[in-house]
Structure 1
């Protein structure tokens, strides 16, 4: 299967909210026991040879926990069944591209195919009304690196703004 690479200017917009998304990523990292309990990730029928230190099963579990967290921490219980925003979907695509690439610029996994495998494993899990699959695509390596930089810049900008507003502000690394 040939993977289609595509990225639009809209794909970058989620970076503006990088502190929010980074909080969710840290939430995933800080809840490893809950992540390990995620079901239906063990038999992904992928053909990819992957890093021994990073299994597709772990990436699947982390992605599903991140997806759940994104649904849960929207700030309003009544929004639970609403679709993710376009930024949320673009962030999930960015996160999955980054994790699947595993810092290997020459390694390419078809993100849409990987998402499809997760979806086939657990048809009821990805029940959000907005079809996330439409946002899943391979991000060009250079563009992914630019997205990482922009994401980090926005995150650092918020830290600087907080320090300016409150000189006693202490940023806590997670």
Structure 2
């Protein structure tokens, strides 16, 4: 099983062009599937995944190849070109996320799936499919971080396309803003004094979002100044900590339930560790996030 190198190698850089990839994802969803693509994906899924939900495997195969076609301008460049690297890192993210979300219970390895897909894709003359060596298994924590960023930008571009407000109604604009708030909270809580690529990307999103909020853009009764302000790390930490204090207690030998002592620094550290686990492993599905396979989100009550 090939695992991806450290994100310091540029795994997050595709978010610099995420609008391009969000549009690419939307485009294949509405496009008809080429007959050759459908045939080869059917053969691949029936042969390798006949006992592991072949219909879903076929769909992922088709969508991946349609994405590949949509991004052909970039994936056909030389393999040291930054636009090539950006595009294939996005394809790697997309494939990891789709397999984790839709075939989680089947425990299908990303490398194996891609190798099987590649064998059949190279038979399709219309695609001129080239090997993507960057396909690899993304660690769960990094995949979760990418999911957060993907959803932040998906909601952002549902409000603003780079020049105009595009959400249809004020209510839908505010809902997308609310989703940005909730998703950003999941990200910023991981970024106390953190200089990781993920936290830099979170900061970049914050700058873009705040710039739109200050921009005074108006359409369909909505003004960008009405966007919800994004929470600070301190605000997110306080909210999650408050929720954990409600849920986590210590059972003593005396038969009493005692709240965790926040004043004790060691217990505070343990609290933070529990909180991060709580964010990732809450027992309520995050139903909104398209690219959060089996990730759970916090929903305040």
TM-score, L = length of structure 2? 0.45
* TM superposition shift of 1:108: 3.5
Task: Give the deviation of 1:57 after TM superposition.
Answer: 1.2
CA contact (8 A) 2:122 2:129 kept: no
Structure 1 position 6 matched with structure 2 position 4: yes
Deviations 1:29-83 (Å, cap 9, x if unpaired)? Answer: 112xx1263231112242584347x521111111111100111xx4xxxx79534
Change (3 A) 1:103 1:120: closer
Aligned match of 1:35: 33
Higher RCO structure (Cα 8 Å, ≥6 apart): 1
TM alignment of 1:53-92, pairs within 5 A: 54-71=55-72, 74=73, 81-83=76-78, 85-92=84-91
Aligned to 2:144: 145
List alignment gaps of at least 5 residues for structure 1: none
Hey, what's the Cα distance between the residues in 1 that align with 2:136 and 2:96? 8
Secondary structure class of the residue paired with 2:61: helix
Gapped regions of structure 2 (runs ≥ 5): 166-211, 223-301
1:157 Cα deviation from its structure 2 partner: 4.3
Which of residues 197, 205, 219 is equivalent to 1:168?
A: 219
Secondary structure of the equivalent of 2:12? Answer: helix
Q: Which has the larger radius of gyration?
A: 2
Distance in structure 2 (CA, Å) of the matches to 1:24 and 1:102? 19
Q: Which 4+ runs in 1 deviate beyond 4 A?
A: 103-107, 160-163
C-alpha contact 1:41 1:60 (8 A) present in aligned 2: yes
- What SS does the corresponding residue of 2:3 show, helix, strand or coil? coil
Going from structure 1 to structure 2, the CA distance change for 1:101 and 1:57 (only over 3 Å counts) comes to same
The aligned length equals 157
* TM value normalised by structure 1: 0.73
